[in-house]
Amino acid sequence: MKIIDITRPLSEGILTYPGDIPPVFRQEDHGHYLITGLHMSTHTGTHIDAPVHYLKTGNTIDTIPLSHVMGTCRVLDVTRVGINITANHLKGRLDNIDRLLLKTSFSNTDRFVENYPSLTADAARLITSRNMKCVGIDTPSIESYECDGAVHRELLSRGCIIIELLDLSKVEEGDYILVALPLRFTGLDGSPARVVLLDENGCE
């Protein structure tokens, strides 16, 4: 089974959303060992949004069902769609799945731009109508920069966990096994995560 790491490297200088906390790492040499202090946001790098992030109620990152972010998933290639991923771009492509990852034209981008691809409200409603457990995307946010949070609220209020800022640049469209594990931060709204795909048809 082939393991595909779809986590963006997390380092100082990584792409961050405007207004977010840029990561700062301070490593100290304590003689027999090294130790590093971290200063960053819960939404740094590849990360998972818990419902409380936008709803301000409901599951926190330590209480989301891990079954939602582990299991079979489908990667859809929407690189040629443009910046608005609508319901029409997804219709007929969601059969027999309950986890979805969207590969956009942003995957090779390492700096923030305002016109990144994102889900429209009707696409979010289509996803929740299919009772999806999880949706991920390779952009800084699941919804547009000029947003009001409606897409986040639609997904999170229906129990659909969100993963953002994936690296799907080397992943082909198809079905995989997803493993996305957040840190167990008590009561918090999100967490950086290590996210991998398992390809049952590939080999190391």
Paired residues of 27 in beta bridges: 36
**Contact of 62 with 177, CB cutoff 8 Å:** no
Kindly list the distances between the CA atom of residue 119 and the CA atoms of 8, 35, 123, in Å, as whole numbers in the listed order.
Answer: 21, 40, 6
Q: Is 68 a catalytic residue?
A: no
Is residue 37 within 8 Å of 30, Cβ to Cβ?
no
19-22 LR contacts (CB < 8 Å, sep 24+):
20/44
Q: Give the angle subtended at the CA of 59 by the CAs of 56 and 60, to the nearest 5°.
A: 80
Among candidates 99, 102, 158, which has minimal Cα distance to 133?
A: 99
Catalytic residue among 53, 68, 89, 152: 53
Rounded Cα distance, 178 and 180, in Å: 6
**Which residues belong to the active site?**
53
